[in-house]
Structure formats: structure tokens, C-alpha cells
Structure 1
Amino acid sequence: MYVDEVGNAQAPPLLLLHGGGVAGWMWRPVAERLGAKARIIVPDLPGHGNSAAEPYRSHESTAQALVKVLEERAPHGATVAGFSLGAQLTILLAATRPDLVTSALVVSAQAKPLRFPGATLGLLAATAPLARQEWFAKLQAKQLFIPDELLADYVRDSARTSRATLLASVGENIRFTLPAGWSEFKNPALVMVGERERGLMHASARAIHSAAPGSRLITVPDCGHGIPLQRPDLFADHHPFGP
């Protein structure tokens, strides 16, 4: 798994986990605003970006790979922040290896499985070839709030994301339920959801927050399912890097 590091090598470590269909580049606006406040560890998850050659298989296997990254690069623990699919992985890491997660930032995680996942995956399988078309990728980029300066990255990585990765990652995403260990996570946790996200995402955010009594829940005004790209400043302003 490809892993990049930016920021201040002497600062506290921060692991940033991107969403499905994008890659570590989505965190570039956040990293620019954090500046020297963190040593930022940014992997490209399996099947995505520079890790596209190895397809996404499961949340479990990806979490195991991320544990190895943390053990090697932040053995005393790191703040872990994840968006969408990456937020589900953040929850899994906090639930299974709380010793490696000093605090958790969970952004736009679906935590209530769809009732009919087969129909969604069937439609995805039929339309998967469109992701390789530049015109379609540009349309999708608008829905995902990809800014112009990152559009080329999105178009490039859409073309090299395999059908297997799409089906596996989306399948894991829409079937995700909260692991038992999440309710036992005692370190600081912040849950974010965009004001304009679907009702399912708001219900998920409430469920994630309720299951971890020590967590905080923030609804971000005027944002949809794209908070890190729409409001990258929030990640510099909130715990643990804020004043």
C-alpha cells in the first residue's frame, strides 16, 4: 500500500483515510491548512490511486494493513481521521486497536446498511465501465465537490480503478455496521456530518455518536457529502489541532 508523509516530522502523527473512488490527494487542501501542526500520514487505500494495482478486498483486510502502517510509523498512536469509506475504517481501527488511535475524527460515515444492497451493486456493475470515460468522471467530480485543482487527479484515478475494487469497496460501505468495540473506545472522538447530506447519513452520524457516549457530534452547515473538500479549514480548527 502506497503511503505518503507530509508536514512536520517532529509534530504529532495524523493518519488521513480517504473515501472510496478517490485517493490520498483528496487531503491536499487539509494538509496545506494544517501546515506544521501535524506529521501527516496519507495512504492510498488498496485499489485506489498509487495502490490501484492491488484491488480493494474488504474493510477487515484493509484495517489490518493500516494497523501495520501505524505500528511502523506511529507505534505510540496517532489521531486517525477518515472520510466516508475511510471513516468506516477509522471506526474499525478505533474499535479493534484503540492503543493505536489517540483520537478519532469520523466524517460522513454510513453506519446503517442498505436494505437491498444487491440492487445497488448490480447497477454499479453495469455502469462501472463509465468510470473510465473522462466525460463521466468530470460529471461525478461535480457531485463529489472535487475542486478544479484536483480534477486531473480524480479523472486519472477514476480511469485506473478496477471493477473489482468498485464492487468490493461499495459493497463493504453499504453493508457496514458498527463494531462492538466502538462503544468501548474511550479516547476523544468527533463525528461530522454535512447539513445537506441524505437522511441516512444523518441517522448514521447519530448512531455513531450514540454508540460512543464520549464522542461529539457536529453538523457542518451548507455542506453535502464532501466536507474535507468543501471545508478543509475545519480540520485545522477542531480537536486536537485547534487552539
Structure 2
Amino acid sequence: MMSRILRLSDGAAVRLLEAGQGAPLLLIHGVGLRAEAWAPQIAALSDGARVIAVDMPGHGESDALPGRPGLPDYVAWAARVVEGLGLGPVSVAGHSMGALIACGLAIDHPALVRRVALLNGVHRRSPEARAAVLARAEEIAAGKAGIDGPLARWFGPGDEAVRDRVALWLREVPPEGYASAYRAFAEGDTIYAARMAEIRCPLLVLTGENDGNSTPAMTEAMAAMVPRGRAVVIEGHRHMVNQTAPDRVTAELKRWLTPTEAAA
């Protein structure tokens, strides 16, 4: 696995982790994390693909977006990343906030996307859930939000090793980048929701059975809106399912990446 910095057309730095050869696969993590969050999938998928995991803006070693960015700004950033890579259309998988970005990329820039996978994505939160996530966004912006709450929601018994690794990333994320991305995440669940039927490429939507924020009902609803959509729910797991059930998630991603799946 190689780490390098990609310079975008506007001069912004994006840190990449790359491994393997073959058709390009872009991986976008969630708020508060970094490219290493995809380590199990990078290791497992790089035998048949050129896997490229990115640090999201304001996370890890990637430059933050200016001003008060919303979800469409993160989508435009992802489009610049794909264009900067110069690899033609890519398969793209996103987790949580990364899923919102990947979804927007497939809608706004279909020529750049070969297929799209949304892991633990959100879609039309309930009023109560929306109020709670907006309140947390304000707490994060004010520097008052801790990490114990998210960790308790994301992990269950037996997940301690992964939980400790994610906790380290959350403690290290630059505060401004974290606050900006979380605000866009909190406000982003409806921005592309009505346009999902525009996605014409193969779509995988996956979540954990016990993910209370990216619920199985959301997953089923998103997949049903897309002509070539497929929903998968991993039983017994929560929000960090790509790390707590890496073999199950990787198997579904491999199925999604196959030419047969793409033609289905």
C-alpha cells in the first residue's frame, strides 16, 4: 500500500492510499475517519483492482474545503479527484458521509462513475433524528462534542479493538475539517434523495442490521429507487460494518465489482 499526495486542479492537496492493479476503485470514508478506515477492503480487493482510498477534505492529510461547504461542494471535490486521477470512470464506494458524496457523484457526474456502493448511508431522516444530528453538528462546531456517544452507537460487544482504532482517528481529526464535514452530513440526507432514480449504473446499498442511524429501512428505500439497485443488510452489526464484518462486506463488494453484476 502506497501513500501519496494528489494535487487537484485548484491546487488543493488530497492524500491517497493506493494498492493493486486493474480497474480503478475509489473509496471515500465517513466523518471523523481517514483513508485507513478502508484497510480491510484495500487488502482484500487490491488483488483484482486498483484501489484508491482518499482522506476526505479536512481529514488526515487532505486540505479542507473553503468557507461553509455543503454536500454539493464535497461532491464537486470528489469529481475533481476522479478527474485528477485521470483513470476514466471509476467504481466508487462510500461509507456514511462518504456514501452521501458517492451518491451525489453518481447523480451529478454520471460519466465519472462506473458503479456506486453506499455503505451505511442516510436517506430522509425522521424529524427527531434530523434534530438530533443537527444538534450534534452545533456541538461539534462549538468544540463541545465528545466521542463516547458515537462510539457507543457504532460498536457493540466484541468490537473493542476496532472501537479503539476509530477512537484514535476521531481524537486526531482536525477540528475545523470535522465540524465542516459533520455539518454537511447533518444537512445532506435530503439533498439528493429525490434524484436517486437518476442513477443508472449498478448500485449496492449496504448497512448493518443494528445501525440506528443508517437503518435497514433507509437501505431498502434507496435500493428500490434505482433500476439496478440492490440492498444488503448484515445481521448483528452496526455503523462500522466494513470494519466489524470485513469479510461479509468485502464479499458483497466483490460481487458488486463483477462484470456479471454490472450487466444485471
The answer on 1:238 being equivalent to 2:262 is no
Given the alignment, which residue of 81, 85, 89 partners 1:69? 81
What is the total number of aligned residue pairs between the two structures?
Answer: 237
Superposition misfits of 4+ residues, deviation over 6 angstroms: none
Residue 215 of structure 2 corresponds to 201
Question: Higher mean Cα deviation, 114-123 or 65-74?
Answer: 114-123
Q: What is the CA distance between 1:151 and its match in structure 2?
A: 3.9
Aligned 1:44-193 pairs, distance under 5 A: 44-51=55-62, 57-115=69-127, 117=130, 120-126=133-139, 129=143, 137=147, 141=151, 143-145=153-155, 148=161, 151=164, 154-162=167-175, 164-175=176-187, 176-177=189-190, 178-193=192-207
Read off the aligned partner of 1:30 and give its amino acid letter. Answer: Q
Unpaired runs of 5+ residues, structure 2, are 1-12
Read off the aligned partner of 1:7 and give its amino acid letter. Answer: A
Change in Cα spacing, 1:152 to 1:214, as seen in structure 2 (3 Å) is closer
Q: Deviations over 1:6-36 (max 9, x none)?
A: 222x311000010111111100111112232
Unpaired runs of 5+ residues, structure 1, are none
Change in Cα spacing, 1:81 to 1:53, as seen in structure 2 (3 Å) is closer
Residue 16 of structure 1 corresponds to 27
Residue 6 of structure 2 corresponds to none
- Residue pair 1:79, 1:102 contacting (<8 A) in 2 also: yes
C-alpha RMSD over aligned residues: 3.0
Identity level (%) = 24
- Residue pair 1:70, 1:100 contacting (<8 A) in 2 also: yes
Taking the aligned partners of 1:118 and 1:149, their CA distance within structure 2 comes to 28
- Residue pair 2:153, 2:212 contacting (<8 A) in 1 also: no
Question: Higher mean Cα deviation, 12-21 or 30-39?
Answer: 30-39
Higher RCO structure (Cα 8 Å, ≥6 apart): 1
Read off the aligned partner of 2:24 and give its amino acid letter. Answer: P
Q: What is the CA distance between 1:113 and its match in structure 2?
A: 3.4
Read off the aligned partner of 1:103 and give its amino acid letter. Answer: R
Given the alignment, which residue of 31, 55, 61 partners 2:42? 31
Read off the aligned partner of 1:93 and give its amino acid letter. Answer: L
TM-score, normalised by the number of residues in structure 1:
0.82
Taking the aligned partners of 1:44 and 1:28, their CA distance within structure 2 comes to 13
TM-score, normalised by the number of residues in structure 2:
0.76
Q: Deviations over 1:145-178 (max 9, x none)?
A: 476378457425523431x444432332233223
Residue 10 of structure 2 corresponds to none
